[in-house]
Copies of this chain bind each other. A is one copy, B any other.
Amino acid sequence: MRFKISPRGSMSLLSQLEINRLQQSSDEQLYRLFRNCCLAVLNAGSNTDSSEEIFEKYKDFDVNVIKCERGVQLELVNPPAEAFVDGKLIAGMQELVEAVLRDILFTGERYNAQTLDSADTHTLTHVVFDILRNAQVVQPNLDPNVIVCWGGHSINEVEYKYTKEVGYQLGLRSLNICTGCGPGAMKGPMKGATIGHAKQRIVDGRYLGFTEPGIIAAEPPNPIVNELVILPDIEKRLEAFVRCAHGIVIFPGGAGTAEELLYILGILMHPNNQRQVLPIILTGPESSRGYFEAIDDFIAETLGHEARKLYQIIIADPATVAKTMTQGAQAVKEYRRDTGDSYCFNWTLHIDEAFQRPFVPNHDNVRNLNLHRDQEPQALAADLRRAFSAIVAGNVKDDGIRAIRKHGVFEIHGERDMMKKLDVLLRAFVEQSRMKLPGSVYHPCYRVITD
C-alpha cells in the first residue's frame, strides 16, 4: 500500500534548490534515521518501548521523498494501518510526519555532525533556538505558561493516575505541558491537561513533545502531542527543555528522570545562575514518598545540601503543585521582564559546555567519568548526569543496546560512599520496574564499582 502526502506547513514552501538538496541527500544514515522516525511517529499511541519490536513488525515500511514543481511529496510505503481512517491519514499523524521531515531531513542537513562538533557554546544554543523557532515552538507574544513534566515512561497505575491529576490541575490553570512525549509520566500530564483545558474552554492548549532520534521509536509520541520537535541529541533536548520551561515538575521515574534532575541541578548551581527564577517540584502519590526521599537523600549526599534548596517535594497534592507552578510562572514572567529576557526562551540561563557537548555513552567514556566529590558540585553533577545518560542508552537506545551486547555492561567507577548510594538507587529503580516497561525481565546494562 502506497500513500502520498503533501506537506502543508512550513515544509510546503521550499525552493527548488532546497528540494534538490532534500532529495539528493545521499547520506544513507540520515535517510535511515528519517525512515525510522517516520515509522515511530506513525505508531504514535502504541504501547511499547521496544524500538526493535516496531522496526521488526514494519520491516517493509518505507518512505520516499518525491520532488515536484510545487514542493515535495512524501510517499509512505506500507505504513501502519492505525494511522489511517477510511484511507486518509489522520491529521495529527500528518503533522508528526511533517515534523520529522522538517527536523531530521531538513534541519539535519543544515546542522550535521561536523557543524555541531566544531560549534562553540553560543552556536550550540543558537542551534537549539533555531530548531525550536523553525518548529514555531518559540513565538512572539506568548505568556510564560510552559510546564515541563519529567518522569519515567514506565510507572505504575497509581503513579500514572497521579500524573493525570497533576496535568488536570495544571490545565485548569491555563498552563501548557511539555514532556519527552513518550508514555507514562510523559503522557499522563497531557491527558489530564486536555480535560482541564476543555473545562476552561481553552482551544489552543499546547502539548509539546521534545524527543531525539535515538529514542523516538522506543518512546513514540503519544497522540495528544500537537507540537513535536526532534532535537539532534539528548544534550540539545535537555537544553530545549530548560530554556523553554517556566516551571518543571518531576514525577517518579528511572535513570532518565535522574539524568534530567541532575542536569537542571548542575546548571542551576552554577554561580552565574544564582538569580535565576525557575520553580522545580518533585511530586508523586503517597506511595512514592519513599522514592522521593531516596532521591532527595542521594542529591544531598552527592551535590550537597545547597542543591536541595533548588526544588520542593510535594506529596499527594496535585492542586498545590499546580498552584505553586502558577505562582512560579508569574515570578518567571516578572524576572524575564525585569531582565529584558524573552518570555519564550530563557537566554539568561547559563549552561556550561560540560552540559552541552554530547556525551557518547561508550565503555571508555563511562569508565572515565569522574565521580568523586573533590570538584565543584556542578562538575560532579555533569558527570553523574552522564552516568545516568549511559544507563538510559544501554536500556532503550539502539546504539547503547548494541554496545552492551558487544562489550558487556558499562562499568561505573567512583568514590565508595557515592557508589554505594548509587547502587541502592539503581536497584530500587529495577525493583520498581522503572527501567523498562513491565512484561520483560530487566537485565541491568551497568555495574557499579567502588574505587
Contacts and interface: CB of A to CB of B under 8 A. Distances in A.
A198 interface: yes
A141 B10 CA distance: 11
A12 B126 contact: no
Contact of A69 (B71, B122, B347): B347
Nearest to A343: B70
A271 interface: no
Contacts of A69: 339-342, 347-348
A16 B130 CA distance: 11
B92 A200 contact: yes
A163 interface: no
A140 interface: yes
Interface in A192-225: 194-195, 198-204, 223-224
B86 A173 contact: yes
Contact of A340 (B12, B68, B95, B347): B68
A69 B201 CA distance: 28
Interface string A111-129: 0000000000011011001
Interface string A217-238: 0000001101000000000000
A83 to B, nearest CB: 10
A123 B200 contact: no
A369 interface: no
Interface string A85-106: 1100011110100000000000
B70 A122 contact: no
A115 to B, nearest CB: 13
A17 interface: yes
B86 A201 contact: no
Interface-central residue, A71, A91, A122, A341, by most chain B CB under 10 Å:
A91
Interface in A3-37: 8-9, 12-13, 15-18
Range of interface residues on A (Cβ < 8 Å) = 35 or more
A15 B130 contact: yes
A138 interface: yes
A130 B13 CA distance: 10
A200 B91 contact: yes
B15 A125 contact: yes
A199 B223 contact: yes
Contacts of A123: 17
Interface-central residue, A199, A203, A223, by most chain B CB under 10 Å:
A199
A123 B90 CA distance: 36
A224 B194 CA distance: 11
Contacts of A95: 201
B172 A201 contact: no
Given A70-B341, A199-B223, A201-B91, A13 B126 contact: no
B140 A12 contact: yes
B126 A18 contact: yes
A133 B69 CA distance: 16
A287 interface: no
Nearest to A10: B140
B125 A13 contact: no
Nearest to A71: B342
A13 B138 CA distance: 8
Listed from nearest, the 8 A-B pairs whose CB atoms lie closest are: A17-B126, A69-B341, A12-B140, A203-B203, A15-B129, A92-B199, A15-B126, A69-B340
Interface of A: 8-9, 12-13, 15-18, 68-71, 85-86, 90-93, 95, 122-123, 125-126, 129-130, 133, 138-141, 172-173, 194-195, 198-204, 223-224, 226, 323, 326, 336, 339-343, 347-348
13 contacts: A15-B130, A16-B125, A17-B123, A17-B125, A68-B340, A70-B342, A86-B173, A86-B326, A90-B200, A91-B202, A194-B194, A198-B224, A198-B226
Given A15-B130, A15-B133, A201-B226, 11 more contacts: A8-B141, A13-B139, A16-B125, A69-B341, A69-B347, A70-B341, A70-B343, A70-B347, A85-B173, A90-B199, A203-B203
